[in-house]
Amino acid sequence: MKKVKFTDERLIQLLKQAGATFKLSASDKGILKAELMDVIKTGPDRIKRGSRKVAYQFSRRKYTMPLIPIIIAALIAIGGGTAALADSAKPGDFLYPVDQWVERFQERVTWTDEAKAGLLARFSEERLQELQALLEIDPEQLQERARERWRAHKEMATEHLAESVERANMVRERFEGRLTGVTDEDEQVEIQQVIDTMDEIIARREQRMEEVESSEFPGAGQVPVRQQVQQWTRENQETMEQVREQIQEEFGDEMPGFGAGEPGQHGKGQSSVDPAIALLPQSPIQLPVADGLVEAQQEWQKRVAETGQQIAAKLAEVLEQVDPFEDPNRLPQPELLVEA
Amino acid sequence: MKNEELNKLAARTQNGDEQAFGQIFDVLSDRIYKFLAFRVKNPADAQDLTSQVFLEAWQSLPRYNPSRSFLPWVFSIARYKLIDHYRKFRSTVSLDAVMDLAGDTDIQVEAEKNADVVRVLQALDRLPELYQTVLKLKFVEELEYSEIAEITGKTENSLRVIVKRGLDKLRQIL
């Protein structure tokens, strides 16, 4: 079937045709007029200039009126739906900053220690899930996935903005309607301030909507946030493993937590495992290396090895200064390392 | 009837001249009805709203400023009535109601003749209220931008942007 092209001229013509279909018949018009004139003859109250009735009703809300645009703006800006959608966002997603903002907000408004602990535990779970989701993405599919997500977010953002503009317009029109019924100048000024504020909000959202609608997919150069995160994750794990191996190689069984025995068996019955070292992975994690990252990985490994050697040298230097009568399994305190 | 003549009738009505108001109704009722029916798609509701618009105009005319054009003033009332109506009955109005129009409007016959008209009406329903109003006033009522500006409170430049974007949005939906 041939697709009809709706040019501006064609759309205008169709609108005019549509308008022509809505006609008030002569009989209906006559009935309406007769009814209207009857009502008018019964003498309905006509609004007089300077009517105080409307003014009094409005003045009861005088003190709450200035807050209304602020509340409306906050509601539009926060929007429960956006926050809910943002909750599932991952690093690199359009709504991820919103997710982070909502979490910070929740943390601030949570007062009791128990509740805060529960909240932070949930956030930690979310971080782990985000990390897992990022690791599961095939780098080769990142571009297409990013494009799809970008398109979906663009549509969603446009839709949200259009809805917010419509809501703001509705509010504006209500106040504009009230303005026609108010004669008191002070009240007119107050209402006009609300209308002006709404105009600003509407203009900002319309401008933002135009920007969103006209935006193009940023392309390969600006998308690899997830690739970057993946790389950082691998580097972090590799670094920890390298450092651990370097320390173990330098000190062998002298270092608690790395000897033949189980962690916690050193130090004459007391737990001598440094919590920081205990967090190091106990076995290397094998992860695929994306194309183009091999050289970067090798360079990073070289740097990690150098860093490990430097740390080992510092450790040896500090250990030499330890009192020989002290427990040989005693670890140098972290602050000594910092000072050194 | 020219706007100047309408303004004179309005000035007479301000002072309680019922006959002048009857003439205003004769001149404007078709246009107001069309403006309302375009959105509510139900002849009975559109007629009811038309009555309400003119009754409110009669009651509010003492407040009307004769130095301003009367036509946009009446359309402003119609627009607020429409917004109020939709606020109350939003969930009860269906897009498909356009196909249910019957009686004197002959919309069904017209719609069958030209399905594109129905498509445009349905697409128009999906636009924000302001866009619908501006497109209707501009292309159906053929009002000037200056008159639409008085009704909507927007600047003429802003209205030109809205018209362009409204047509673009219609095209996207279609």
Please tell me the predicted confidence (pLDDT) of residue A331.
47
Q: What is the mean pLDDT of residues B154-166?
A: 87
Q: Mind listing the pLDDT tens digit for each residue in B15-38?
A: 878 888 889 999 889 889 988 888
Please tell me the predicted confidence (pLDDT) of residue A44.
65
For B69, what's the count of Cα atoms within 13 Å in the CB-facing half-sphere?
Answer: 15
Give the largest Cα separation in chain A, rounded. Answer: 115
| B26, B116, B117 ranked by CB distance to A21: nearest | B117
Q: Chain B residue with minimal CA distance to A182? A: B63
Q: Mind listing the pLDDT tens digit for each residue in B119-129?
A: 888 888 888 88
Top-confidence range, A66-70, A77-81, A243-247: A243-247
The pLDDT confidence band at residue A138, using thresholds 50, 70 and 90, is low
- Secondary structure element (H or E) that encloses residue A185, with its range: helix A185-214
Size of interface A-B (CB pairs under 8 A): 142
Q: Taking a contact as any Cβ pair under 8 Å apart, which residues of chain A between 176 and 205 contact chain B? A: 176-177, 180-181, 183, 195
**ipTM of the prediction greater than 0.95, yes or no:** no
Share of chain A above pLDDT 70, in %: 43
**Greater model confidence, A45 or B32:** B32
Report the number of secondary-structure helices (H) and strands (E) in chain A.
13, 0
For chain B, say whether A276 makes contact (Cβ under 8 Å). no
Q: Which residues contact A271 (CB under 8 A, 6 or more apart)?
A: A264
The pLDDT confidence band at residue B135, using thresholds 50, 70 and 90, is very high
Q: Rounded to a whole number, what is the distance in Å from the CA of A39 to chain B's nearest CA?
A: 8
DSSP A72-111: HHHHHHH-HHHHHHHTT--TTSTTHHHHHHHHHHHHHH--
Please tell me the predicted confidence (pLDDT) of residue A52.
41
Cβ of B30 within 8 Å of Cβ of A23? The answer is yes
Share of chain A above pLDDT 90, in %: 0
Q: Rounded to a whole number, what is the distance in Å from the CA of B90 to chain A's nearest CA?
A: 13
Cβ atoms of A32 and B29 closer than 8 Å: yes
The pLDDT confidence band at residue A320, using thresholds 50, 70 and 90, is low
Cβ of A45 within 8 Å of Cβ of B25? The answer is no
- Residue A270 tokens read as 């007391």
Q: Taking a contact as any Cβ pair under 8 Å apart, which residues of chain A between 33 and 72 contact chain B? A: 33, 35-37, 39-41, 44-49
∠ CA A41-A43-A46, nearest 5°, is 125
Cβ of A166 within 8 Å of Cβ of B140? The answer is no
The pLDDT confidence band at residue A257, using thresholds 50, 70 and 90, is very low
Give contacts of B117 with chain A, Cβ < 8 Å: 14, 17-18, 21
